[in-house]
Amino acid sequence: MSDAPATHQVDVPLLQVEGVTVRRNRQDVIKDINLKIYSGEFVGVVGPNGAGKSTLIQAILGLLKCQSGTILVSGKPPMSKEVFGKIGWVSQAASHLPKNVRLTVRELVSLGLFNNTNWFGLGGSNATRIDEALRMVGIEHLESRDVNQLSGGERQRAVIARALVSGADFLVLDEPLVGMDRVSRTSLLKLLDDFCHDQKKTIFMISHDIAAMRQTAHRMIYLEETIRFDGPPTKFPSLEELALLRGIEDVHGGHHYDHAAEHCGGGDHSKPNIYDLLKEAE
């Protein structure tokens, strides 16, 4: 699923981040971020907790002020009227609604239209857009169901439809795989991959699931305060290389795995591969 588009439609980046630093409580959370994303790319961002991933998203959306640097979406600042409605944001909390909130799937999706309409009713063209968004994520048969009756995967599709209904071509997702089972994760990742290849959507997705990103994304970014890796999934750092990127030294002098094997009664002293461990964890 991770084959990147052969060529970019145009040579102008959809997202351009240059020299961006964001500070909170007088401390740099992210610094000197330089990044270009082109139309049709699926970019997966990984990194440890507290690495600045959500801060980067909020800066891209224009929700946080940058201490230095510039962010442009289609050549315009994120909060400019030209960009309004072009970015579909799916936050970590987007699919978590209070149980006392009663909304059908269709009503939830329609909320995405209030970026560019009013609260006095939806016209025929807007109804068609809702139909199309539901169809794109494959849940048109659930449009009348209460959102609280959906599975985790179905609910995530509903909030993605809400992001799509405004006509957004740039989808920004913050940990959309959290709480989903294996089948739902695979189904959602296939949907996002189809968006890139068939709909020419651009995906910028934060996830802790490195294995999923390696199999799906066209490009991976490892973020820890600044960008420490940016390249194809096939070149993503190994466990040892990640440790070096983070400045972590092997305090066991290379004997850590030997001791572990002895205590477990195993005779194989080879070091486990991070990707094998991740697959086992699933």
Angle separating helix axes 152-164 and 124-136, nearest 10 degrees: 140
Is the residue at 67 inside a domain? yes
The pLDDT of residue 217? 95
Q: Is the Cβ–Cβ distance between 41 and 196 less than 8 Å? A: yes
Residue of 232, 230, 229 lying closest to 214 (CA atoms): 232
CATH number where 205 lies: 3.40.50.300
Predicted pLDDT of residue 101: 79
- Is residue 106 in a domain? no
Residue 102 lies in a domain: no
In order along the chain (282 residues), what is the average pLDDT of each group of 10 residues?
A: 53 93 93 96 93 94 94 93 86 74 91 62 73 92 93 89 88 88 87 89 92 93 94 90 72 50 42 42 39
Residue 69: inside a domain, yes or no? yes
Q: Tokens 């994304």, residue? A: 217
Please report whether residue 211 resides in a domain.
yes
Number of compact structural domains in the chain: 1
Q: Which domain holds residue 71?
A: 11-86+199-246
The answer as to whether 80 is a domain residue is yes
Q: Is residue 28 part of a domain?
A: yes
Q: What is the pLDDT of residue 113?
A: 84
Asked whether the beta carbons of 136 and 180 are under 8 A apart, the reply is: no
Which long-range contacts does 18-21 make (Cβ < 8 Å, 24+ apart)?
18/69, 18/70, 18/71, 19/68, 19/69, 19/70, 20/59, 20/66, 20/68, 20/69, 20/70, 20/71, 21/66, 21/67, 21/68, 21/69
In a domain, 218, yes or no: yes
φ, ψ (nearest 5 deg) of residue 281? -65, -25
